[in-house]
Amino acid sequence: MRANPSILLVALVAACAGSAPATERPKSYREHLDEAAAHDRAADVQEAMAADAERAGRGSASYTCGNQALSDQTTSGGERVTAWVPCWSVARDASAAHDADAARQRAEAQQHRAIARNLLEVERTFCTGLTAEELTHTPLYHRHDIASVVAYRENGVLAGARVTFKAVPGLSPAYLSHALLCHRARMATLGYPTTYMAYDPAMLVHTHLAVDDQGGPIVVTIRADDDVTAAVVWSRAQALLNAR
């Protein structure tokens, strides 16, 4: 039975990148853990300040009152111009503010740790079944098994590249998708370093992949989100054949 003719490799890896702007490199697993630790340290500071404010609040110095005598003396036509300010519990308010900020910092830390866990889980899920040897390179490393490389255009504008594989025994759209998605997940865990499998046009942030099987050769389409990335994709794709 023929595999699904269009296997998209975008959603899960894109989800790991979070909601960062397109121009910002998504954080790696380690960077998210570092961010979480920084937020926890900030929360520790706020909680200590809250405790200090609470202790200070146990004395009379914790209250600040308006000047009643001055308020009584400031009149116009026999009526007081200003009202006497109540004795607000300033220290208690300060303690609550520090506690609120500490809670916000803890929540930020939890969010970063959740993203880090998700990155690892996606990588673990999509790399299951690949041998240690296959983890050292992507399918596009096998340049002699590539039949052709052509530019991919949308409305006449360069948008990426199409890589067509020769008929390789055992190579299927499902396997090709599996291997590419695994490496995309590993790249996301590392924070999309430009050095990761730098020969592969599919290993770039802000790209979308599709593996197509029309009953003949298997074609990988790499579509970029912007003109600069599209140029890099096309340059890497051409280099695959030139390197042969």
pLDDT in tens, 55-86: 766 654 555 555 555 445 544 555 554 555 66
Which carries the bigger pLDDT value, residue 216 or residue 41? Answer: 41
Query: What was the pLDDT predicted at 210?
Result: 95
Higher confidence at residue 226 or residue 17?
A: 226
Per-residue model confidence (pLDDT) at position 158: 98
Q: Which residue has the higher pLDDT, 5 or 159?
A: 159
Question: Tokens 């609120």 sit at which residue?
Answer: 100
Looking at residue 4, what is its pLDDT? Answer: 43
Given a cut of 50, whether residue 228 has pLDDT beyond it is yes
Residue 122 above 50 pLDDT? yes
CB atoms within 10 A of CB 200: 22
Which pLDDT tens digit goes with each residue over 90-116? 556 678 888 899 999 999 999 999 989
What is residue 7's predicted lDDT score, i.e. its pLDDT?
Answer: 41
Q: Which is more confident, 63 or 217?
A: 217
Percent of the chain with pLDDT strictly greater than 90:
56
Tell me the percentage of the chain whose pLDDT exceeds 70: 74
Q: Write down the pLDDT at residue 202.
A: 96
Average pLDDT of 169-181?
Answer: 94
Report residue 10's pLDDT band, with 50, 70 and 90 as the boundaries. Answer: very low
On the question of pLDDT at 157 being above 60, the answer is yes
Mean residue pLDDT across the chain: 82
Does residue 134 register a pLDDT over 90?
yes
